[in-house]
Chains A and B, each alone.
Chain A
């Protein structure tokens, strides 16, 4: 298993390098360079500008600039955010963590919705329950997640006005967050996370439920499940041990490719729910042409996604013993 993982890690290095090259190239395309917005900013002194120019080698040809940029990044120096007047990493790291919490929460809910529904649909194929689930999910496929979120907010607000319940729908923490105990703080964050995460999970669950249902149906017709049934294993074992474990293999293998979509999907909900995640900050960064910030975000999320891919490989190796051999 270790050599398999090492091989996957080594394979991902060129992808990462090329991604950074692409990001750098796109930023080079932008009018002016990293410092153009900074030069217009009277708050940045000329000494600071000169230091930046020297650090990032902006007076040199483009390929040398790229090497400087990469070299600086390896030392954890992502440059200076012009908008916030601080090193980029200090600003973006908490934001990235916030987005990761939301993504993780939504991923858990996503699977705990899609798997039972998919398995149910396959086991009770064409039953009224299966048909009802299918129709509702088909309908949900058409909803953009942000629109679903707006509708949910509308109804929660109505509910709040009607009953006076305090259901949190915006931000990540309550106003009295600082005064809460550590456990209370955790609970407070969870309370704020659950609604956006649930909305995202529901709006995404339709696709996966259909895939799981189809996979389960296919595996249930295979010879080894019939053999297992003939041997007299219980229905529960036949479904969960013999069918389900084989049916989810393609899904586990696909987690890696699902992550970029997940991170993008989280972005829309962050904007709707005013959640302090990556995307709201990126959008303001476009307005202020804060290029180091945009580049830093894109590079770090790409790295995280590649790590996520490796984790999904480990998961696949756990679920499917054949992977370790090959």
Chain B
């Protein structure tokens, strides 16, 4: 059998040829669920970025004279109760009274109306730590300090739960993702080193991976947390939790990278590069690691939800972010305050949990979409 060469050289083809990423991108765009997930995530991150503007209150504002512990959510009315016509949105100011039968502090709306203004001046803040501002999306202004909007109710210290939730998104959305990125870098380095140097380095690294997998991760995290003092700097605590999460998670990836590197090392294109006189570093970075790109993109996007859940879990247990900073998991721990029965009196403290669920779902849709987009068997 003879094979004939094509009449024309393939040079005319490149106009239509697609790179691997081009194919993946066009596949991804066909996946509507994944696109929705990605869009919602962009929305969430925008929300987090402009948190100080969207939140009506400061991160940790509470009154020491008018204690509004677990203030119920204030419904916003847009109709005037007397005339029934449309009016500026307002909430009622709530008053507190101790119920002498049950000894529970009860909140009741008074007749005082608190009008809601848009674009109101309030607490000072800095977006990204750079751009100062005092403008807030909505608020009740400064006329009556006891007038406050509680969209999601109040929390244990009487701070506005909506404000806290919006601020918490900054931490919940970044710590998990940051930890995944760092642990991916560590995993790549460790796996590549184990495969490349072999011998003692290989044994040591792979043993360390085994040990990290053998100790239950929650206990390892608690153990590592106990190294740091209880009253650490709140900013340092964020870096600490980032580091701890990254430290416990790199093992699986290192193992895969090592296996892949070992099999790639024997392939022709690596021998060719060696024959051409390429150095070790060049072979590693330009020839061997790029074979992992797809795998890493997919694992990375699929492991983010797990890290977000773990971070929320740690904050829930009180070994995550420290006051005044808080993450969604930390906000949920208020549901535990005062025993089981009290949760029925303040179901609104569960709201931050739905933000966790929503974020994780979005990341899952995005991750599944990316996985399918890069999988040649699932091409449409």
Contacts and interface: CB of A to CB of B under 8 A. Distances in A.
Tell me, yes or no, whether A binds B: yes
Given A142-B305, A157-B341, A15 B332 contact: no
Decide if the interface of chain A is mainly helix, strand, loop or mixed. helix
A141 B358 CA distance: 11
Given A15-B211, A260-B214, A264-B217, A144 B361 contact: no
Given A157-B340, A286-B226, A260 B316 contact: no
A263 B364 contact: no
B216 A264 contact: yes
Interface residues of A, number: 57
Given A31-B229, A144-B313, A271-B317, A298 B219 contact: yes
A144 B227 contact: no
Q: Is the interface of B mostly helix, strand, loop or mixed?
A: helix
B273 interface: no
A48 B91 CA distance: 63
B198 to A, nearest CB: 19
B220 interface: yes
Interface in B159-180: none
Nearest to A304: B216
Contacts, number: 145
Contact of A263 (B211, B218, B358): B218
B153 interface: no
24 contacts: A15-B207, A15-B210, A18-B211, A19-B215, A30-B227, A141-B360, A145-B313, A146-B332, A147-B332, A150-B350, A154-B350, A158-B344, A263-B216, A263-B218, A263-B219, A267-B219, A268-B317, A271-B316, A271-B317, A272-B336, A279-B317, A301-B215, A305-B214, A305-B215
Given A138-B364, A282-B219, A301-B219, 20 more contacts: A15-B214, A18-B210, A27-B227, A141-B364, A142-B357, A146-B313, A147-B353, A150-B343, A150-B350, A154-B343, A157-B340, A264-B218, A268-B218, A272-B336, A274-B340, A279-B222, A294-B226, A298-B215, A302-B216, A305-B216
Interface of A: 14-16, 18-19, 22-23, 26-27, 29-31, 138-139, 141-147, 150-151, 153-154, 157-158, 161, 169-170, 257, 260-261, 263-264, 267-268, 271-272, 274, 278-279, 282-283, 285-287, 289, 291, 294-295, 297-298, 301-302, 305-306
